[in-house]
């Protein structure tokens, strides 16, 4: 576990080891949620993370929903 400080604007810096491990780069989207009294940060998949993820799995509808959500967020 790594301790980080919160700025007066409520910002934190994700440690470089975790950014590299989870491929969080400039422009990456993350989700911040509360779960069981804890703050959880999750990397949201980019279009590049999804490349090839639907091949042979037959879950095209799920992929379409994710892409629609990403498009809505970018609009």
CB 32 within 8 A of CB 41: yes
Q: Using alpha carbons, select from 62, 61, 28 the residue that is nearest to residue 44.
A: 28
Q: With a threshold of 0.85, does the pTM exceed it? A: no
Cβ contacts of 74 within 8 Å, gap of 6 or more: none
Per residue in 50-63, pLDDT (tens digit) is 666 555 555 777 88
Q: What does the pLDDT read at residue 13?
A: 96
Q: What percent of the chain has pLDDT over 90?
A: 52
Reduced to 3 states, what is the DSSP secondary structure of residue 34? strand
Domain ranges, ordered by start, for the chain: 1-44, 45-75
Helix (H) or strand (E) holding 33: strand 30-35
Residues in the chain, pLDDT under 50? none
What CATH number labels 1-44? 2.10.260.10
């Amino acid at each position: 576990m790594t301790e980080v400080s919160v700025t007066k604007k409520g910002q934190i810096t994700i440690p470089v080891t975790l950014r590299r491990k989870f491929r969080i780069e400039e422009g990456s989207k993350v989700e911040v949620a509360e779960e069981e009294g804890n703050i959880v940060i999750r990397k949201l998949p980019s279009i590049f993370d999804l490349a090839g993820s639907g091949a042979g799995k037959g879950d095209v509808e799920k992929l379409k929903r994710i892409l629609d959500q990403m498009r809505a967020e970018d609009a």
